[in-house]
Copies of this chain bind each other. A is one copy, B any other.
């Protein structure tokens, strides 16, 4: 598993000439980092008398943020696995007509899976961004910049995952699947952009000197 490796070793493998892990896994990791920062703001708010009014809210957000962090963490490895399956399909024999047909089907199948993983990352980013907005608005104000970094990373994760969906869609012939998924990506990107802008407005307001 990629996520059990030390951070600096993960970075070394990323930088290396091996094509995986690549941008897809990094997008999922950025999502995990974003969710973890939202959890941190919850944890820095929970149990403090000063924020008595938001204890239940913060506890509920923490549960959701930790669930999303676990899902993002799994997607770091799932993206690399999906990428490796595409590579395996490409390396199938192509000497006879039946082999060529089998190989083409395997490549298509694997490429579709490789679009679904970053699409899942995008959806989780939207869910996590809603939590980041809430902790920015109602969490410990000393941690408002952490809520901001959370939102920024979730948006970058969503945009980065979108590039990975699109590059995989561009090699698929199934125009119905491609059209449907392209629309979904468009819509998720618009939502993420709107939400990160909202988050940044909340944060700018909170950071203004009083």
A166 nearest CB across to chain B (Å): 6
- Chain B residues with CB below 8 A from A203, complex form: 163
The count of residues in chain A whose C-beta lies closer than 8 Å to any C-beta of chain B is 59
- Chain B residues with CB below 8 A from A19, complex form: 40, 44, 143
Chain A 102-127 interface 0/1 with B at a Cβ cutoff of 8 Å (1 = within):
00000000000000000000000000
- Chain B residues with CB below 8 A from A35, complex form: 15
- Chain B residues with CB below 8 A from A153, complex form: 26, 30, 156, 160
Q: A6-B5, A15-B69, A33-B11 are in contact. Are A149 and B26 (CB under 8 A)?
A: yes
- Chain B residues with CB below 8 A from A23, complex form: 37, 145-146, 148-150
Q: List 18 A-B contacts (CB under 8 A).
A: A2-B7, A6-B7, A7-B10, A11-B36, A15-B39, A15-B40, A15-B43, A15-B66, A19-B44, A22-B37, A23-B145, A23-B146, A23-B150, A24-B145, A148-B160, A149-B163, A152-B163, A170-B207
